Amino acid sequence: MNGKTLSRRDFLRMSALTAAGTALTACARPTPEATEAPAVEEPATEAPAAEAPAPAEAANVVMMHQRNELSEDEEAQFEADYPGVTIELIEGDDNAFLARIAAGSPVDLRRTQAPAVPQFLNRELTYDLTPYFETSDVLKIDDLAPANAYYMANSPTAIGEGNIYGMCKDWSPDFTLWAFTDAFEEAGVDLPDDTTVLTYAEVADLAEKLTVFEGERIARWGYAYADGWIDRIWMSLLDEVGQSLYAEDYSSIKLTSNDDLKAMAQYFFDLASNNFVANPLNPSTSWIGDDFARGLVGVIQYGYWFGGMAESDVTAGKVVMLPAPTWSGKRLDRTITATGMFMVSKTEVPDAAWQVFEWYNGKEPAEARAASGWGVPALKSMYDLMPNETEFEQQKRRVLQDEIDLETPPMQFNPYIGAEVVAQTWNLYLEQALSGDMTLDELLATVEEEVNVAIQEGLERTE
């Protein structure tokens, strides 16, 4: 020690440097073990031996899920029914999920949605559950609702049939409409019959008539759709006309070379520029479901699940479910979320994890979900559990059944990019286009270029 004391200036300098340095630590890659992840014991494309799974031994199953979808009481009930197997529920998003894998402490079960499945398959993060399904008395393959096809695949680019890597907890045909009858009455517009299939052009017409302007202020938006899923909507509409959003091998997105897609983009752009929907220049501070429940939206496009929350103090008794509209006349209505669960390929307790998986998707929690009316059950045998008592419930069921009968096959999402890349890029630049700083063609070209870069990066990592 040289006896020199730390001056105030030195202290300030050190404090500033420390504070600046700490800013970077938050986004550092997780732990040194990140580069030493254990080898994949069960690659996704290699199924475990096709024989009856042995009863699970004592194990702790780590489940990355949402607490509001598995109560502590249900968890306790499971542990009482399955002695020796415990559930450790962790809440977290895909980044937390990947961080745990990189750190060498993967979870055993993970909540996900259909658009993420191809990428997880591509990166060999999913465990082949086919042998378990083949021998299960609870989750029978014949009983699986069609939306579960999102979790079946022969390869990451061949979703729909093949090995089973997971299943949805519930699902909905997601393109149905919900009308707020007061909005129709106030606008002097006839409410469509719930057996009439509207075209998207008619929906735009309704959107215009139902939108209420008061000076510069928008008192009610005529229409609302999930703009965070715009690519999924385009994919479904393109499917109607036999087109695809991506090249055949999923190595690029096609936005500028596809006239059908351009027409669809123009449609949604016009809705936004006319303020018939919430948009970046005239945003909603909440989310569209809440706006509808507050009576601020005339027609909203959401699946059957939305029926569980469509009625509020404002909208109770004033909501009607309508069939999915059509772009070209060909009727389709598919789920674009199929929220569910898969087993992680690196799990060390697959048998115990399967017990949790089977129980969650086929026993009491699944029955409770089915009876709640917040989605169509993932098992056809549970369809009858959906609520069907009140007039509103019966009306929903009638419309829903027609949509289920369409038997719309699943869509193939791109396995080389994250589920939000396309929609996030579109929405990022939409503000500039709406402000007149770029044309729609330039917007599409920019999104195409950025998404294609992301796809190429994904391809390079898996080559």
Partner 1 sequence: MANNQQAEGQRGARWRKSARGRKSARARRRTISFYLFIAPWLLGFVLLSVVPLCIGFFTSLTNYDGFDPADSKFVGLDNYTRAFSDDRMFLSLSRTLLWAAINTPLWLVVTFCMALVLNQKGIKGRGFLRTLYYVPSIVPIVGVVWIWKIILDNNFGLLNAIISIFRPGTAIPFMSQYALQSLSVIALWTGLGSGMVIFLAGLQDIPEELIEAAQIDGANALQLFRHVTLPIMTPIIFFQLVLGLISAFQQLVLPMLLAPGQEAGGWNPPRGSYLYMIHAYRQLFIYQRYGYSTALLWLLFIVIMALTLMVFRTARYWVFYEVEIEGGGQP
* 123 touching partner 1, by CB under 8 A: yes
User: Contact letters (x/-) for partner 1, 36-65, by CB under 8 A?
Assistant: -x----------------------------
Q: Determine which residue in the list 218, 237, 321, 404 makes contact with partner 1, applying CB under 8 A.
A: 218
Contact by Cβ (8 Å): 201, 358: no
Q: Is 405 exposed, middle or buried (0-12, 13-18, 19+ CB in 10 A)?
A: exposed
Closer CB to partner 1, residue 243 or residue 424?
A: 424
In the complex, minimum distance from the CB of residue 149 to partner 1, in angstroms, rounded to a whole number: 22
By CB under 8 A, which span of 16-24, 137-145, 156-164, 175-183 interacts with partner 1? 16-24
What is the spatial distance between Cα 192 and Cα 100, in angstroms, rounded to a whole number? 50
Stretch that binds partner 1, among 253-261, 274-282, 352-360, 384-392 (CB under 8 A): 274-282
Rule CB under 8 A: say whether 7 interacts with partner 1.
Answer: yes
Q: Is residue 459 close enough to count as binding partner 1 by CB under 8 A? A: no
Say if residues 159 and 149 touch (Cβ distance below 8 Å). Answer: yes
**Cβ at position 27, least distance to partner 1 in Å:** 5
> What does the DSSP assignment read for 297-321?
EEEEE--GGGGGTS--TTTTT-EEE
Whole-number Cα distances in Å, 242 to 8, 235, 330: 71, 10, 10
Q: Which CB sits closer to partner 1, 272 or 321?
A: 272
Residue 155 parent element (H or E): strand 152-155
Contact 444, 262 (CB under 8 A): yes
Strand partners, 232: none
Does position 248 bind partner 1 by CB under 8 A?
A: no
Tell me if 125 contacts partner 1 by CB under 8 A.
Answer: yes
Name residues contacting partner 1, limited to 408-447 (CB under 8 A). Answer: 417-418, 420-421, 423-424, 427-428, 431-432
Q: Lay out the site mask for partner 1 across 196-215 (x = CB under 8 A, - = otherwise).
A: ------------------xx
Determine the Cα–Cα distance for residues 415 and 394; give it in Å rounded to an integer: 39
Q: Is position 190 an interface residue for partner 1 (rule: CB under 8 A)?
A: no
Question: Which residue is it, tokens 């898996």?
Answer: 462
Within 8 A by CB and 6+ apart from 177, the residues are 198, 203, 299, 300, 301, 321, 322, 323, 324, 325
Confirm or reject binding of residue 314 to partner 1 (CB under 8 A).
no
Footprint (CB under 8 A) of partner 1, residues 275-304: 278, 280-289, 296
Helix (H) / strand (E) containing 223: strand 217-224
Query: Which residues contact partner 1 (rule: CB under 8 A)?
Result: 1, 7-9, 12-13, 15-25, 27-29, 31-32, 34-35, 37, 95, 98-99, 101-102, 123, 125, 214-219, 226-229, 278, 280-289, 296, 417-418, 420-421, 423-424, 427-428, 431-432, 454, 457-458, 460-462
